[in-house]
Amino acid sequence: MMMVRHLLVLFLLAALGACSSMPGGGPVSQTKGEYKVGNPYKVAGKVYVPEEDPHYLAEGMASWYGPKFHGRRTANGETFNMNALTAAHTTLPMPSYVRVTNLENGRSLILKVNDRGPFVGDRLIDVSRRSAQLLGFEQQGVTRVRVEAVSGPDARPTTAFARNNVAPKPAVAQKAPVVLARNSPAQTPTLPTVAKDEVIVQSLEDEEQTSDAGSIYVQIGAFADKLRAQMVADDIRHVGRTLLELVDINGQRLYRVRIGPLQSQKRADETLGRALAWGHNTARIVLD
């Protein structure tokens, strides 16, 4: 009997590891894709020629895609998760990594390219819904961005947040993406390879900004299952001081996992970036 119970526990743990449940997106089975460049192809009368271009740098319009494609296979065989930090591009290799900068607010993310698209007008890149939220253009739907090829980690994509001290740049209408540099190492900045437990944080402000409004936390999630909450807490413990608390939310007993308290907004941004980089894509900053 003891052996049966032990096997049942192992089975449940394996099932939890095989699937990730995202609010609003439903469970998505994790499918490993293949490296793929691909042959030239034609969509709506336009020919696209995929190629390896480690010095790719371009500006154009970005859009985002989400629920309609959630759970479907991407062009390189992975499973699209609208809550993950991924993107679709018409010609870059899959997987590859790009730094996408919203030119309207200065925010930037490093995303994993694992799909083809967009094929609407002359848009440059399609990002996941979660990426659009973090880049700050989910509500408006499209924004002007800069896309740069970077050296990516072997495991998960990382985030790079940039604060902006200057007024946002107004969007400039342009019909086609403008390639700024191709195959020119001297002109294109690249990021070093990032280990999966590291995050690159970019900021125009070097000084810590201490919050006077209360204690800042990065909340990883709240779980009805204590075992699941403990697994998440153990997985994220290396990022910072981790709290596992039993709380009552609207009459429901939940186990809440948080990191903190954090001493500044800058530290909160860094911690959120590390949590997202580790795959906890529903993490958010909260203030108590």
Instruction: Give the right CATH number for 216-287 from 3.60.20.40, 3.30.70.2740, 3.75.10.10, 3.30.70.1070.
Output: 3.30.70.1070
Residue 133 has a pLDDT of 93
Has this prediction a pTM greater than 0.75?
no
Query: Hunting for tokens 């990065």 — which residue is that?
Result: 218
Which DSSP string do the residues of 171-197 spell out, in sequence order? Answer: P---SS-EEEESS-TTT---PPP--TT
Provide the 3-class DSSP secondary structure of residue 128. strand
User: Cα dihedral angle (267, 272, 274, 278), rounded to 10 degrees?
Assistant: 160
Which two tokens mark 171?
């969007």
Residue 76 has a pLDDT of 86
Which two tokens mark 142?
């499209």
What are the extents of the domains in the chain?
Answer: 41-181, 216-287
Residue 153 has a pLDDT of 57
- Nearest Cα residue to 262 out of 236, 283, 241: 241
Instruction: For the chain, 288 residues long, give each residue's pLDDT as a single digit of tens.
Output: 555 454 454 444 444 443 433 344 444 445 667 888 988 887 878 889 999 999 999 999 999 998 888 888 888 888 999 999 999 999 999 999 999 999 999 999 889 999 999 988 889 999 999 999 999 999 999 999 999 998 865 433 344 443 333 334 444 444 445 444 444 343 333 333 333 333 323 322 333 344 444 689 999 999 999 999 999 998 888 878 899 999 998 899 999 999 999 888 878 877 877 777 676 778 888 888
Residue 271 has a pLDDT of 80
Q: Where are the alpha helices (DSSP H) in the chain?
A: 2-18, 129-135, 226-236, 265-277
Residue 85 has a pLDDT of 92
How confident is the model over 64-111, as pLDDT tens digits?
998 888 888 888 888 999 999 999 999 999 999 999 999 999 999 889
- Nearest Cα residue to 193 out of 110, 267, 266: 110
Report the topology of domain 41-181.
Barwin-like endoglucanases (2.40.40)
> Is there a cis peptide before residue 95, judged by omega within 30 degrees of 0?
yes
Residue 236 has a pLDDT of 84
Quote the CA–CA distance of 100 and 110 in Å, as a whole number: 6
